[in-house]
Structure 1
Amino acid sequence: MALPPRHGRSLVHKARQRTPGHHYNASFLSSADRASILEWLGTLHPLWEQRYSAHFPPPPGQSQRRLLRPVYWLGNWQFACLDYYRPPKGVKDRCVKAEPFPAVLQRQVDKVEELARRMFRGPDMPTGWHLNTCLVNFYGSRLEDGHWVDTARVGEHKDFEPGPVASLSLGERALLQFVTSSRPGERDEVVLEQWLDDGALQLFGGARWKDQTFHRVQRVDTRAGLLLPPELPDFRTRRINLTFRYVPDAHVTPFALLSAEAREDVRGYMETLASHSAFFRAELAREKRG
């Protein structure tokens, strides 16, 4: 797919530069694996999560809100209303045990882990590191008051899970940028930008890309006119990103072992997931057995 014309140094040139700690492979997924992943995605029932809950209410001056896009998690589910995983303090009741990776994804993970262990050493590769959590983000447009609103973007953020982070992209290409984080409110200097293509792998780690910069998805193309599975009543998906990270196994908690407050905050989500998943039905049954 041709890139649009740009002023100054092209993004193609930037992508071909050697960038320590950042790896990009535009054709990582084979056509067969890509087809298998899309078939599996068609079986999912993503959740529309609310940002807050009864025991984690909105801050003063803010109100409850739905996330910009539907999501699904594998390995462990970091519900928004549990405030995600934020070590070293934010580790308890943050990561709820979830379904394992399907075989086609586990094959990709095995290859990525091998690559990561060649790229990263010392403090950039934590002891015990392995990719055991995956966030599936659905990018596109959602239906609001009878109108389709484009929500295919992600603001500046960091991934707090230790060690390298990997992502697989499907569908329309997206422009991802790493931006400086020297002072709050002044994080607009782009230090690396990369188009993420259909079937591409991005792998990054180390202090430069994990600690010293934020990253964001500026936009997602519409030129191919893609509509990706699964079919959702109020959302049109044109890009799917699977982000793989590492959470220490000791911080992954079965639903039955969460605190009473955390269980009540996510019980509705667990019951919704259980309506389509034998794994989550078993997790709810485990709680009843005590």
Structure 2
Amino acid sequence: MALPPRRGPSLAHKARQRSPGHHYNASFLSSVDRADILTWLGGLHPLWEERYSKHFPPPPGQQQRRLLRPVYWLGNWQFACLDYYRPPKGVLNRCVKAEPFPAVLQRQVTKVEELARRMFRGPDLPKGWHLNTCLVNFYGSRLEEDRWVDTARVGEHKDFEPGPVASLSFGERALIQFVTSTRPGERDAVVLEQWLDDGSLELFGGKQWKEETFHRVQRVDTREGHDLAPKLPDFRTRRINLTFRYVPDVHVTPFAALSTEAREDVRGYMERLAKGSAFFRAELAREARPPAP
């Protein structure tokens, strides 16, 4: 008698899920915490950032461009026009002090840090490592002139912040892939792919996942019909992802302590953030205070 067809993930896929240095938990968030985080997210005022600025202009032959999606940062804000955090050389005037994690997020971060310290050792867990920066990415469709264009993807990249990286997902599921690279400019094989579900945690670190592979978000589903807050006039959000990383505290800089050029480049963003955030209003006010005698 023939065996019934196998259902569910293939054995090969299950093996990939058990890859050392990569952890996935589809139901990490409780329903209560998930609801509380979504309520908090609905009160944010994301930014549409431009890629370049006066002191960091486009390369020859390229033009100014807006990022694919609105974003928000916690802990420290890595503005695109400051070229993000790129150690070992790109560390100064890159990470601007930002709002702390709300209590419901800090509880999740504490649990993730405990898990990471069980998973990673030695050089894979740098001295002083803790998750102190969070990028909130809004995935969906943006309004371009009179039509909606799907921008729910992220190209191949590496996270340069040292140590493990964690992410929490909300809304539609997304397909993330890790791909190898043996020649400059070429990507070879997909070594791991994972659907990131609503309420899930992904945690990865170590040489294989941080240095030897790139990762990308290939697509975001539309099957569940999510339309998440905050509601924006020129963007429809169907997925939100929170990516937590570590920046050495010595490299986190208050706005008032940035170089003159960096402050000039991000002042407009800070002023926009201050309209919806007491934290950023205080940061701008701190710059205006005379130095202590």
TM-score by shorter chain over 0.5: yes
CA distance in 1, matches of 2:10, 2:58: 40
CA distance in 1, matches of 2:166, 2:220: 19
Task: Check 1:145–1:129 CA distance in 2 against 1; reply closer, same or farther (3 A cut).
Answer: same
Shift of 1:188: 3.7
Tell me if the contact between 1:140 and 1:236 (Cα under 8 Å) persists in the aligned partners: yes
CA distance in 2, matches of 1:14, 1:250: 40
Rg larger in 1 or in 2? 2
Tell me if the contact between 2:156 and 2:214 (Cα under 8 Å) persists in the aligned partners: yes
CA distance in 2, matches of 1:188, 1:26: 28
Tell me if the contact between 1:77 and 1:95 (Cα under 8 Å) persists in the aligned partners: yes
CA distance in 2, matches of 1:170, 1:275: 26
SS of 1:127's equivalent?
coil
The CA deviation string for residues 40-59 of structure 1, in whole angstroms up to 9 with x for no partner, is 00100000000000000000
Look up the match of 1:49: 49
Shift of 1:192: 0.3
CA distance in 2, matches of 1:181, 1:110: 33
Look up the match of 2:93: 93
- Within a 5 Å distance, the mapping from 1:236-275 to structure 2 comes to 236-275=236-275
Look up the match of 1:224: 224
SS of 2:232's equivalent?
coil
Whichever residue aligns with residue 131 of structure 2, its letter is L
CA distance in 2, matches of 1:251, 1:12: 43
Shift of 1:184: 1.8
Tell me if the contact between 1:228 and 1:237 (Cα under 8 Å) persists in the aligned partners: yes
Tell me if the contact between 1:157 and 1:216 (Cα under 8 Å) persists in the aligned partners: yes
* Mapped pair 1:14 → 2:9: no
Look up the match of 1:5: none
Shift of 1:11: 6.0
Tell me if the contact between 2:256 and 2:284 (Cα under 8 Å) persists in the aligned partners: yes
Tell me if the contact between 1:11 and 1:193 (Cα under 8 Å) persists in the aligned partners: no
Tell me if the contact between 1:15 and 1:194 (Cα under 8 Å) persists in the aligned partners: no
Look up the match of 2:114: 114
Shift of 1:10: 4.4
- Within a 5 Å distance, the mapping from 1:175-190 to structure 2 comes to 175-190=175-190
- Within a 5 Å distance, the mapping from 1:68-87 to structure 2 comes to 68-87=68-87
Structure 1 stretches (4+) deviating beyond 3 angstroms?
A: 9-13
Tell me if the contact between 2:182 and 2:188 (Cα under 8 Å) persists in the aligned partners: no
The CA deviation string for residues 75-117 of structure 1, in whole angstroms up to 9 with x for no partner, is 0000000000000000000000000000000000000000000
Task: Check 1:13–1:198 CA distance in 2 against 1; reply closer, same or farther (3 A cut).
Answer: farther
Shift of 1:276: 0.7
Whichever residue aligns with residue 260 of structure 1, its letter is T
The CA deviation string for residues 222-277 of structure 1, in whole angstroms up to 9 with x for no partner, is 01111011010100000000000000000000000000000000000000000110
Tell me if the contact between 1:165 and 1:245 (Cα under 8 Å) persists in the aligned partners: yes
Whichever residue aligns with residue 13 of structure 2, its letter is K
CA distance in 1, matches of 2:207, 2:26: 24
Look up the match of 1:31: 31
Shift of 1:186: 1.8
Look up the match of 1:157: 157
Identity rate, percent: 83
Tell me if the contact between 1:15 and 1:24 (Cα under 8 Å) persists in the aligned partners: no
Q: How many pairs were matched up?
A: 282
Tell me if the contact between 1:161 and 1:247 (Cα under 8 Å) persists in the aligned partners: yes
Task: Check 1:51–1:12 CA distance in 2 against 1; reply closer, same or farther (3 A cut).
Answer: farther
Shift of 1:15: 4.1
Stretches of structure 2 that go unaligned for 5 or more consecutive residues are 1-7
TM-score scaled by length of structure 2: 0.95
Look up the match of 1:141: 141
Shift of 1:22: 0.1
CA distance in 1, matches of 2:29, 2:226: 18
Whichever residue aligns with residue 92 of structure 2, its letter is K
Tell me if the contact between 1:92 and 1:251 (Cα under 8 Å) persists in the aligned partners: yes
**Aligned-residue CA RMSD in angstroms?**
1.2
Task: Check 1:237–1:188 CA distance in 2 against 1; reply closer, same or farther (3 A cut).
Answer: farther
